Structures are given as structure tokens and as C-alpha cells.
Amino acid sequence: MSVAAVLIVKNEEANLRACLETLRWADEIVVLDAGSEDASCEIAREYTDKVAVNADWQGFGVQRQRAEALVESDWILMVDADERVTPELRDSIRAAMAGEPAIHTLARLSWCFGDFIRHSGWYPDRVARLYPRGKAGYDAALVHEKLQNPAGLPVKLLQGDLLHYTYRDLRHYLEKSAHYAQAWAEQRAARGKRGSLSAGVVHGLGCFLRMYLLRAGFLDGRQGLLLALLSAHSTFAKYADLWIRTRTSPPPDDSAA
């Protein structure tokens, strides 16, 4: 049985080489670029000849579907450029491929603001990433896409961590947070949902209490406190964006005066 490591990327030159170094053992590496303006494609071609570009961005789900369609191997391992496959996880993947078709989840351990985060609801961050080609696949969600299991495959756990170097600095966090908030609000507005600032306050406060107290974020030290505060802000921003889209009026058209 063979496995393809699959990545969708855009402007990931700072991460991509370190990621691909941990994937050299894969039978196939597929990289789908979304129109990078840096050296992402050049770096990818150092590791594989299966590098494609599709800059018609329709969301994370659709882009993962496009990448899946390029795979020839029996299994798909979906990896992001800011992730690293540890040797223990690699060995677990190889062993899993010898078994029956199944969807395999793994624990993702995130490095954030100077340390690995082992509490705050961040670990073990179980994500479904290893699955047999053609028997499972991603939905078409704009953001927060999910792996679908139409064949009703069993779900099993892999041993070993997937290291996740999630944010370079605070600016990177805020930029990614704003992007996700925008995509979330767009999806909700398209479904006819409406937002309110009060809902943003309630959900933001709930997010902080859940991360910092219920999920023991205080055990992550200052990083845990910072993450809880930032996550509360991000949660509020989602609802604020939706409120602005659905409850406020556009600016006046001065040219009509």
C-alpha cells in the first residue's frame, strides 16, 4: 500500500521546506499552490514533481478536494505547511496502512508564543488526516472544512504527535484570526443568519472561561492566559463581523446628492 502526503499552500516559503523534510518517507508528495508570490513552488519542486497551481480560490474545502484529485496512491495524509510529522507518527502511519480501510485521527501538538500548548483545549487536538483515497474526502466548506465519511469507515487513533507551529508572532495571529472571522461571517450571512454584538460578548466571555478555567489554560502559564484572551477576542470579532454585514446600513452614496 502507498501513501501520498498532500498539502495545499500559499506563500509558505518560511514553513514549507521544514515540513517537507519530515515527509520524505512518503511514496508520493502532492502540493497544490493557490497562487503564491514567494518561492513556495520552487521549494516544493525540490521534493516532488507533483506541484500544481490553482489560484481560483473557492475556500479550503474545495482546494483540498482539488488536491485529493491529483493523488495516485492508496492512502492520503493531509498535512499543512506549518506542521511536522514526528518519527513516532510516521511509524504509526506505516503500520495503519497495513490494516483495514479506516479514517485515522492523530494528536496535534501546537507551539505558540514560545512554548508547546498542552492544555487550553488545544491538546490533544485530534484531527482526521489519514484516510483511504476515494472512500473519504473533504467537504466544500469555505473554512473549517471537515473530512466526510460516506462509506462509514471505522475511526481509529494513531500514536505520535503532529507538531503544529501555528503562529509566528502576534501580528500573524491577528491576521489569521481576521481571515477566519471574515470567512465564518460570510458563510453565516450566506445562509441567512444574523449576528448581534450581545451574542459576540456572550460567546467571547464563554470562550475565555472555557479555555482558561474549564480546559486548564492556566496550566499553560502566560501563554495560556494570552491565548484565552486572544481567542475570546477572535470569537467576538466573528459575531461583530456578522452583525456589521447583516444589521448595518451601507455608507451613503454621495454621488447621488
Q: What is the mean pLDDT of each run of 10 residues along the chain (257 residues)?
A: 97 97 98 98 98 96 98 98 98 96 97 95 95 97 92 96 93 91 90 92 97 97 96 96 86 62
Q: Tell me what pLDDT residue 251 has.
A: 73
> Which residues, including other chains, have CB under 8 Å from residue 213's CB and lie 6 or more apart?
none
Q: Tell me what pLDDT residue 87 has.
A: 97
Q: What DSSP assignment string belongs to 225-255?
A: HHHHHHHHHHHHHHHHHHHHHHHSPPPP-GG
Give the other-Cβ count within 10 Å of 43's Cβ.
21
Q: Which domain holds residue 145?
A: 3-167
Q: Tell me what pLDDT residue 248 has.
A: 78
Q: Which residues of 177-199 are buried (b: 16+ CB within 10 A; e: fewer)?
A: beebbbbbbbbbbeeeeebeeeb
Q: Tell me what pLDDT residue 229 has.
A: 97
DSSP category for residue 256: G
Look at phi and psi of residue 3 and say left if phi exceeds 0, alpha if psi is from -120 to 50, else beta.
Answer: beta
Helix (H, G, I), strand (E, B) or coil at 211: helix
Q: Provide the number of structural domains found in the chain.
A: 2
Give the other-Cβ count within 10 Å of 102's Cβ.
18
Indicate the residue among 149, 167, 185 that finishes a domain: 167
Which helix (H) or strand (E) covers residue 51, if one does?
Answer: strand 51-53
CA proximity to 79, closest of 145, 11, 19: 19
> Which residues, including other chains, have CB under 8 Å from residue 179's CB and lie 6 or more apart?
none
CATH number reported for the structural domain that contains residue 15 in this entry: 3.90.550.10
Looking at the fold, whether 71 and 158 belong to one and the same domain comes out as yes
Q: End-to-end alpha-carbon separation of the chain, Å? A: 70
Alpha carbon of residue 28 to chain centroid: 21
Looking at the fold, whether 153 and 187 belong to one and the same domain comes out as no
Looking at the fold, whether 159 and 104 belong to one and the same domain comes out as yes
pLDDT digits (tens, 9 = 90+) for 119-152: 999 999 999 999 999 999 999 998 889 999 999 9
Looking at the fold, whether 118 and 130 belong to one and the same domain comes out as yes
pLDDT digits (tens, 9 = 90+) for 161-196: 999 998 889 998 999 899 889 989 998 999 999 989
Query: Cell digits for 207?
Result: 470562550
